[in-house]
Amino acid sequence: MECITLALAKGRTAKGAIAILKRAGFHFADFHEKSRKLVFYDTKKQIKLIFVKAVDVPTYVDKGAADIGIAGKDNIMEAQVDLYELLDLKLGKCKFAVAGLPDQKIDHTTVLTVASKYPNVAEHYFEQKGITVDTIKLNGSVELAPLIGMADVIVDIVETGNTINENGLTIIEDMEPISTRLIVNKASFATKTKEIQQIIKKLESVLE
């Protein structure tokens, strides 16, 4: 059997994903949270696990550097890559939402300025609604943008809504639910079908 390379997002969903993999029979003995190692093999050497930054997971899989990846739907959507998305691991559930000051309206009359860590997602969303927007790419503290007048609204992931509320913003529209997904490179799927389907089947059986 050929070894399959799996790119896993570092951070909050990693632990959950490792637990699911373990239940499916892929045990990463030398993994522990504080480890600085970036490459791990499961005990049966079926999976080579590489830890990468969450936003980079779709890129690794798209380029074929990893055969499969586990990443949040938010990053998959933002990357706009042509991949298979075969499983929902149902971890890290949250949603994309449009938020702004309470009196902010979203309509066709003006050009809306949108700040987001996810400019592609934001642009695509408003394009579908037929609303012209100016997007500003930010890397953090997005909630600040409407407060200081740099943007009218923000597009961001929302879990509890606390950060939004504490900064005096409200959710204007819910966009799309987000959770952790399993993505697969199309060439890998075509050339290592058996190995990949086996991994998916095992994961599926523990997810039900």
Partner 1 sequence: MQTYIFDKTNDTDIAFYQIRERLITLLRSRFTTYGYKQIQTPTFEPYDLYTTVNGTIKLDEMIKVIDNSGKVLVMRPDVTIPITQQIASKYKHLSKEIRYFYVTDVFRQTPDESNNKERTQAGIEYFGNNSPEADAEVLSLAVHLLKDLHLTNFTLEIGHAGFTKELISELALSDQDLKQFKQLIQAKNTNGIKLFLADLSIDPKLRYAIENIPLLYGEADDVIKRAKEIAYNDSMVNKLQNLEEVCTVIQAYGCKQHIVIDLGLINHMDYYSDIIFQGFTENVGKPILMGGRYDKLATQFNASIPAIGFACDIEALLDSTKNHTKSYQPPIDVDIYYETDEQEYGLTIANELREQNYRVLTFPIPEANKHESAQCTLYLTRNNSTLYQQNKSWSFTDIEKLNQILQEVKERI
Residue span binding partner 1 (CB under 8 A) among the ranges 12-20, 40-48, 58-66, 107-115: 58-66
Query: Which residue type occupies 62?
Result: D
Q: How many angstroms separate the CA atoms of 184 and 46, rounded? A: 16
Q: Which lies closer to partner 1 via its Cβ, residue 39 or residue 190?
A: 190
Binding positions for partner 1, 84-103, rule CB under 8 A? 84-88
Return the CA Rg of the chain: 19
CB of 175 to partner 1, least distance (A): 13
The residue length of the chain stands at 208
- Regarding 131 and contact with partner 1 (CB under 8 A), the answer is no
CB of 144 to partner 1, least distance (A): 29
β-bridge mates for residue 133, sequence order: 112
- Regarding 28 and contact with partner 1 (CB under 8 A), the answer is no
CB of 195 to partner 1, least distance (A): 12
- Regarding 191 and contact with partner 1 (CB under 8 A), the answer is yes
- Regarding 5 and contact with partner 1 (CB under 8 A), the answer is no
Q: Which lies closer to partner 1 via its Cβ, residue 86 or residue 136?
A: 86
Kind of pairing between the strands at 153-158 and 94-100? antiparallel
Q: How many angstroms separate the CA atoms of 67 and 7, rounded? A: 8
CB of 202 to partner 1, least distance (A): 17
Q: Which lies closer to partner 1 via its Cβ, residue 83 or residue 142?
A: 83
- Regarding 63 and contact with partner 1 (CB under 8 A), the answer is yes
Angstrom distances, CA of residue 112 to CA of 61, 107, 108, 176 = 34, 8, 9, 20
Which residues, in sequence order, are CB contacts of 42 under 8 Å at separation 6+? Answer: 21, 26, 27, 28, 49
- Regarding 205 and contact with partner 1 (CB under 8 A), the answer is no
- Regarding 128 and contact with partner 1 (CB under 8 A), the answer is yes
**Beta-carbon neighbour count of residue 90 at 10 Å?**
12
- Three-state SS for 160? coil
Q: Which lies closer to partner 1 via its Cβ, residue 135 or residue 185?
A: 185
Binding residues vs partner 1 (CB under 8 A):
61-64, 82-88, 128, 185-188, 190-193
